[in-house]
Amino acid sequence: MYKTDIYESMLAETITLQGFNGDMINAYFARPLGPGPFPGMVLVHHMPGWDEWYKEITCRFARQGYATLSPNLYFRAGHGTPEDVAAKVRAAGGVPDDQVVGDLAGATRFLRSLPTSNGKVGIFGTCSGGRHAYLAACRVQIFDALVDCWGGRVVMKDEDLSPTQPVAPLSYTKDLACPLLGLFGEEDQSPTPEQVAIHEQELKRYGKQYEFHMYPGAGHGFFYHQRPMYRQEQAVDGWNKVFAFLETHLKQA
């Protein structure tokens, strides 16, 4: 628990790391200073891109004691304002799932290589980033905890599959090898409560360790304080659940 006489320090900067196919991409990296050991967190940005909100929460996780990386999954689309780059990616139908998984695996390797690492790395994502986080944790068993915040299109119909998203993440559920925390809003349109229920059934079917929380009075993106969808009470409770979950699985385990 934080007390006011504790000395705090952290460093936040842009770095480059090796992602999918050996490509170099950039990432925002915030970490507590000191010898550690510190657990790591990979943050998976949402459809609006590698934006200010993700930079803010990268620092937030670092303040909580995590060496935290938010890789720029849209790096290959070129550079400009986060919105302009994200709009370009949106028009292209998103970034390929395989590429994202490779980039997130690269970020994880980077965190594990740090001399201050405690050997554990978690992954967190919201919106499309929640989907990508779930997909990555199922496809590469290198994570120790997974937080999926309202990740849409985990459950996909056949007609929703595309060249960039050829397989529904739900199909990989049997391969999930770490505990999962899922936060969702009852009024969300993607994922709907019905889709979350299907997801939960699959987790139960394979005996996975998970906890899902469905918030009344909240829709999509209820953590986003800069958007009308922000829901203060649900967001505060959700953040508390995120950090309690990570404390258990990345710091105490």
Partner 1 sequence: MCTMIAQQVKIDGCGKGASGWFTLREADVSYDHPFNAPFEHALNIDFVNEVQGPGARVAVELSVEAARTLVETIQAVLTRAEAGGYIEKEATA
Residues in contact with partner 1 by CB under 8 A are 47-48, 77-81, 83-91, 93-94, 127-128, 152-153, 160, 162, 165, 189-190, 219-221, 227-229
Name which of 83 and 211 has its Cβ closer to partner 1: 83
CB of 1 or CB of 91, closer to partner 1: 91
Token code pair at residue 111: 């965190």
Q: How far is the CB of 14 from partner 1 (least distance, A)?
A: 18
Distance in Å, CB of 170 to partner 1, minimum: 16
Closer to partner 1 by CB, 212 or 230: give it.
230
**In the complex, minimum distance from the CB of residue 147 to partner 1, in angstroms, rounded to a whole number:** 18
The answer to whether the beta carbons of residues 151 and 131 sit under 8 Å apart is: yes
Contact 124, 39 (CB under 8 A): no
Q: How far apart are CA 89 and CA 132, in angstroms?
A: 15
Write out the two tokens for 128: 């499309």
Residue type, 161: L
Calculated CA dihedral for residues 179, 31, 241, 187, nearest 10 degrees: -90
**Nearest distance, CB of residue 201 and partner 1, angstroms:** 22
Query: Is 187 or 200 the residue whose CB approaches partner 1 more closely?
Result: 187
Structure tokens at 7: 């000395």
Smallest separation (angstroms) from partner 1 to the CB of 137: 19
Q: Output the CA torsion sign for 222, 224, 230, 234.
A: positive
63/76 with CB nearer partner 1: 76
